[in-house]
Amino acid sequence: MNKRSLALLAALIGLCLSPLSAHDAKPITSPAPTAPPAPTAEKVDKKGKGSREDWDKLTEAEKAEKLKERKAKMEARLKDLKSKKSAGTLTDKESQQLERLEKQAARGDRPPGDRPAGGKRPKKGTASKQ
């Protein structure tokens, strides 16, 4: 190798190593660990919203009213998604939601006697004895 290529090689090595030596010279200062933010009143209220304990405290009339509200909200969303589907502006996420809502709507239309007791299917491998 000639002197010029050796000088170039030495300069390149020096440039590569210079950030390392400069980094070593600086004292390492890491920010102090911060605690997670305290939950705000808004978040605390949302967490408890719709909990099982609140549902158990409602009267039968209040439960029926809540179920009507939920059903109306679900039907409105279903109608909105179907109109988006017919217009061709449905996103992937919305199409998945539409499928779920359609299944829920189909389940909700069955009379209670058609549903299995406890909502569970028989275990695999066990034949039903009748």
Q: What is the 3-state secondary structure (H, E, C) of the chain?
A: CCHHHHHHHHHHHHHHHHHHHHHHHCCCCCCCCCCCCCCCHHHHHHHHCCCHHHHHHCCHHHHHHHHHHHHHHHHHHHHHHHHHHHHCCCCHHHHHHHHHHHHHHHHHCCCHHHCCHHHCCCCCCCCCCC
| pTM listed for this prediction | 0.45
Measured CA to CA, the distance from residue 36 to residue 72 in angstroms comes to 38
Q: Which residue has the higher pLDDT, 9 or 65?
A: 65
Mean pLDDT on 20-46: 60
Measured CA to CA, the distance from residue 61 to residue 38 in angstroms comes to 37
> Which segment, 29-33, 35-39, 91-95, is predicted with the most confidence on average?
91-95
Q: Which residue has the higher pLDDT, 62 or 40?
A: 62
Parse the chain into domains and list their residue ranges. Answer: 52-109
Q: What is the pLDDT of residues 60-88, one digit of tens each?
A: 999 889 889 988 999 999 999 999 999 99
Q: How confident is the model at residue 96 (pLDDT cuts 50, 70, 90)?
A: very high
Q: Which residue has the higher pLDDT, 51 or 99?
A: 99
Q: Which residue has the higher pLDDT, 105 or 29?
A: 105
Per-residue tokens: 98: 């539409």
Q: Is a pLDDT exceeding 70 seen at residue 115?
A: no
Q: Which residue has the higher pLDDT, 15 or 81?
A: 81
Cβ–Cβ < 8 Å for 85, 55: no
Q: How confident is the model at residue 93 (pLDDT cuts 50, 70, 90)?
A: very high
